[in-house]
Structure 1
Amino acid sequence: AWGNRLPLPWYFERMGAETTSVRTPEELSGTPPVVVTKPRYEDDLRERLAGYRANTYRLGLWNREVVVFTRR
C-alpha cells in the first residue's frame, strides 16, 4: 500500500548509514559503496564508477526514477 512507503533518506537513517550529498557528479570523491542519483547524471557517473553495477528504480512515494550504483 502507498502508506507503507517512505523516502530513501528515512531508510538510510534507519540503517545508520553514513550519507553525503553532492550537487554535481564532479563533486563526488572516493569510492562510496552506494551512489543514488537522478537518471540525467547516469552517463556522467558511469565512467567514473567503473566496476559498479547500475540499476534503475521507480520510487513509489513520488513516482520518480533513481539510478543506484553499487560497488561490486
Structure 2
Amino acid sequence: MEKTIIIGIDGMRCNSCTANVERELSGLPGVKLVQVDLELEEARVTFDESLVDTQLFDKTIASLGFSVRNITQG
C-alpha cells in the first residue's frame, strides 16, 4: 500500500545536503517519490509500505550525518 510521510531532518545546511538525502532515499526499494525542503528541514517521502520499513529511512539519514527529528503522516 502506498503511503506518504514527512520526515523532519536536523543538520541539513545546503543544497548539497538535500541532494544527498534525496538521492539516498530515492534509491531505497519501494520508494516512489522524495521531495526534500531545506528551509522546512524535512523530506516528504511516498513509498510502498509493504516493501520498506520507516526505520530504514532513519538509518539512511543517520548514515549521511543527519538526524531524524520526527516522522509524521503526509
Question: What TM-score does the superposition give when structure 2 sets the normalisation length?
Answer: 0.30
Higher strand share: 2
Q: What is the TM-score normalised by the length of structure 1?
A: 0.30
Q: Which gives a bigger RCO, structure 1 or 2 (Cα 8 Å, sep 6+)?
A: 2
| Higher gyration radius (CA) | 1
